[in-house]
Amino acid sequence: MSKTIEIVVTPTGQTQVQTKGFVGSECRQASRFIELALGKRTDEELTTEFHQQASQQQSYQQRH
């Protein structure tokens, strides 16, 4: 899956930034400049990909 950042602007002016194809916290790094430009974040919903990577890292660290 290719990495994409989708920005949705509603008729009322609210914005939503959605990342796709990123693993773990790299989605936050990739969209940071957009969030800074838009202003204060009011909500965050993490994707399945974010949680899967976090679980894989913890599993790896516990084995070593």
Rounded distance, CA 51 to CA 64, Å?
A: 21
Q: How many structural domains is the chain composed of?
A: 1
**Reported confidence tier of residue 23, pLDDT bands at 50, 70, 90:** confident
Report pLDDT digits (tens) over 47-64.
787 777 655 555 445 555
- Exposure pattern of 10-24 as b/e (b: 16+ CB <10 Å)? eeeeeeebebeebeb
Cα atoms found within 13 Å of the Cα of residue 1, Cβ hemisphere only: 9
Report pLDDT digits (tens) over 1-22.
689 999 999 999 989 999 988 8
Q: What is the pLDDT of residue 8?
A: 93
Q: What is the pLDDT of residue 49?
A: 79
Expressed as residue numbers, the domain containing 56 is 4-63
Rounded distance, CA 7 to CA 24, Å?
A: 20
